[in-house]
Structure 1
């Protein structure tokens, strides 16, 4: 009896009795050497090539704005003309009221963006955080408007502007596009990704729905608001069809896209000035995108991905 017990106590462990696993040699590194480093280099090369491909038309447009008008369509095409005319940028403002077009576009874009942000954030909060009867049905009907093209809406919108007496005014350029389903959907999806416990905590502390929205929910949605602001500003800034229909006095209420079209007329087209004007029109949007780049990246990565 004692012998069996001694054998059991002195028996080697199973792990020690098992044959050791043969050494398979050095394992491949995962920190970027070899194949991983080649893939990283190829990825960077691909990104650089894609960036150069997208930037090439802008570079060609910039140098075309410095050419004489009679060399715009010279064959074979050249990047730089026979002379560099920086005066084309100054001649743009002498050709017509281009400064007025820029001012009108800037005012309409800023005012329209502020109105859209106010409407979209509050509507998104109502659809995403508040509970009320028929909320989902109304939201679906709201989203249906995304499938209606703008070309179909211009006639009824123009009739409504006539009823209000807003034809050929800044109101007609701003308010018809203040209630956009895209902005409301974007803000709703982002708001639904914020924990609902924050609303309950605010309600316990005595905060109402408006105070909860203004002091708690909206500050957490800065990135989504930045994304919506950039998209909305660019939409107003580049809008051409609706201002062409609703504006009568182009000299007073004409916007920048209409101003770009004035360089083409019965006496020919000043391609050099039109190209220079197009380069000038890209400056504000470029500055806004660069200034809000951090918020744009964060907002695009998170907006609409946390809905329940």
Structure 2
């Protein structure tokens, strides 16, 4: 019952928060975002990271109790470092250049993908060890990861680079620099985020961008009070089943669409994702 409640609440909250328009089938159980002890495909133990003790799926991102923030029932410790944002393009609008920090929706993604914040610290979990800092956050044992950083066992968000058994840099680490694989703050080589698309369109107009309604019609989602702010989840949906082929091992996903890898809201055939927003 508890697993059903967690899954139902998480799904309902996500839909309320981001709206509809997912171009692909949503079945997170068949994706690398399933960090549960077991997974529905063969050779699940070959996953890069997964829990050695938790068999729930939704709990690694969502919780019905003690969520931070309450929407979308978030169960992860979010990054607190200062990020360096994308600013280099001469074609970038001034509204995008003015962004100094990721928006709240993108911070949710960065809580795993900044390359620095621990993926095994949850606000609310039935299992795991309390972080020891008074927050009540718990660490969950992950296969291939020590439970704590031996050099600083009471830290709330572990620096990924300090984990002695970490091995190769983990996937989708977008905060790295050329000199520091685990820097956790460098977004200068990634698509700009957290800006008003409407304002950018007003500055660049049809010279570079398409009208936001045409973009939304293709399944792209925008955020903020005016529903026009571009974030990581504008182009990516963490629940999309893209026919996972993990390290060359087919999983046999019954519904996946490989064209949606990695968690795209629509396929990118012929750069279709790019042209949804950009007209050249």
TM tier relative to shorter chain: under 0.3
Greater Rg, structure 1 or structure 2? 1
Structure whose residues are more often helix by fraction: 1
Select the structure with the greater relative contact order (CA < 8 A; seq sep ≥ 6): 1
Q: TM-score, normalised by structure 2?
A: 0.22
Q: TM-score, normalised by structure 1?
A: 0.21
